[in-house]
Amino acid sequence: MFEGFSNQWTAVTLSRRLKKRPLAVAVAGEKLVLFRDAQGKVSALLDRCPHRGVALSLGRVTPDGCIECPFHAWKFDARGQNRGVPLNPDAKRERLFATSVPARDLGGLLWVYTAPVSEAPVEPTVPDSLTAPGLARNYLELEWAAHWSRVMENMLDGPHVPFLHRKTIGRFVSPYLKPDSRMDIELNEEPYGFSTRGVLDGDRARDSGHLEFYRPNVMVLNIPMKGHTFRQHSICVPVSAERSRLIIVGARSFARLALLNPIFNWQNLRVALEDQAVIESSQPPEVPHPSHELSVRTDRATLHFRKFYFETLKGSSTLPARPEPATRVA
Ligand code: FES
Ligand SMILES: [Fe+2]
């Protein structure tokens, strides 16, 4: 299960998308259903009823905060425990459970842990600017026809900005480029992952912003703005081998009126469309071993991600919570 992305916390969608009805999401090839219990707390189960395999997300959330299967109305609570099997008062309900995965609601996003365990060994590492008070936030959710590893590297790849984005954000960098310009990529290991920035022609005083990588799939762009906080968070969620969900969250300490959020989202969308147009063309779709592509000095940050990817995620998987069922009667 969760091939190539197991035992990780990842945001999967925006908190505001989950209201009273169950919500289906796919993560690393697994279908999950999210729902809120009677207290509004988020829960996640595999979106497959253990009875006859139908999608629990087609069912409903009961007033006591359980999810009820649409087919024969078995009821499961937030931990997947069976709370009802209609017409079978003698059923051994303790054996008829659904599989749950840990879930959290943090920073306006819903997070899941990619393993069928009752407790995650750690809590998600969430950048402060997603939760700090006093910041306005704008949220955008997109789907790309690309493997998430290519999307993630795109977000960590500063040197493409003046070229691919020459009509948008690249305009702020291009005027400083000379035909013989040189960029050095500084990179520091951090407890959460790494931070990196590009230094153009040795001019360390000119701050064009720096990137932070939060393992396994969050990039935070810190845009310099005197006396203010301005950050863009890009979360690259694996959906399947061919699809990724990209969640872009802006956080700002200025122009905080919610009315202005669509303008900030529009700007982010324009830039994302420029990236999407080229990233979806990547071959092979998943990032290959570094020796299979040609790299240069300015690829330092993306190569650093690729090292983490190959050492930690590539090939990872978890066993299902129970063996694939032979038909049993309980
Ligand atoms: S398939 Fe879910 S209750 Fe029968
Ligand atoms: Fe880009």
Q: Which ligand is nearest to the CA of 72?
A: 1
pLDDT at 126: 97
- Compute, in angstroms, the gap from residue 69 CA to the centroid of ligand 1: 6
Q: What's the CATH code, domain 9-113?
A: 2.102.10.10
pLDDT at 4: 97
How far apart CA 248 and CA 269 sit, in angstroms, is 9
| One-letter identity of residue 107 | G
- pLDDT higher than 70, residue 198: yes
Instruction: Tell me if 70 CB under 6 Å of ligand 1.
Output: no
The band of 138, judged by pLDDT with boundaries at 50, 70 and 90, is very high
Q: Which ligand is nearest to the CA of 161?
A: 2
Instruction: Tell me if 72 CB under 6 Å of ligand 1.
Output: yes
Do the beta carbons of residue 215 and residue 244 sit within 8 Å? Answer: no
Q: Tokens 């969430």 — which residue?
A: 126
In this structure, CATH architecture of domain 128-313: Alpha-Beta Complex (3.90)
| Residue 87 burial (CB count, 10 A) | 7
User: Judging by beta carbons within 10 Å of its beta carbon (0-12, 13-18, 19+), is residue 118 exposed, middle or buried?
Assistant: exposed
Least-confidence region, from 42-46, 100-104, 171-175: 171-175
- pLDDT higher than 80, residue 327: no
| Per-residue pLDDT tens digits for 142-170 | 999 999 999 999 999 999 999 999 999 98
Q: Which residues surround ligand 2, an ion (CB under 5 A)?
A: 275
pLDDT at 153: 98
- pLDDT higher than 60, residue 325: no
The ligand 1 atom at the shortest distance from the C-alpha of residue 54 is 1
| Domain residue spans of the chain | 9-113, 128-313
- pLDDT higher than 80, residue 305: yes
The ligand 1 atom at the shortest distance from the C-alpha of residue 70 is 2
* From 33, 72, 85, 99, mutation site for ligand 1 pocket: most ligand atoms within 8 A of C-beta: 72
Concatenated DSSP letters of 246-299: EEEEEEESSS--GGGHHHHHHHHHHHHHHHHHHHTT-SSSS---GGGS---GGG
pLDDT at 276: 98
| Per-residue pLDDT tens digits for 243-266 | 999 999 999 999 999 999 999 999
Q: Which ligand is nearest to the CA of 164?
A: 2
| One-letter identity of residue 65 | G
| Per-residue pLDDT tens digits for 72-118 | 999 999 999 999 999 999 999 999 999 999 999 999 999 999 999 99
- pLDDT higher than 60, residue 324: no
pLDDT at 174: 84
User: Judging by beta carbons within 10 Å of its beta carbon (0-12, 13-18, 19+), is residue 211 exposed, middle or buried?
Assistant: buried
pTM of the model: 0.94
pLDDT at 323: 59
Q: Which ligand is nearest to the CA of 153?
A: 2
- pLDDT higher than 80, residue 66: yes
The ligand 1 atom at the shortest distance from the C-alpha of residue 49 is 2
- pLDDT higher than 90, residue 330: no
* From 47, 48, 54, 87, mutation site for ligand 1 pocket: most ligand atoms within 8 A of C-beta: 54
pLDDT at 204: 84
How confident is the model over 294-306, as a mean pLDDT?
A: 97
- pLDDT higher than 90, residue 313: yes
Instruction: Tell me if 243 CB under 6 Å of ligand 1.
Output: no
Instruction: Tell me if 52 CB under 6 Å of ligand 1.
Output: yes
User: Judging by beta carbons within 10 Å of its beta carbon (0-12, 13-18, 19+), is residue 189 exposed, middle or buried?
Assistant: exposed
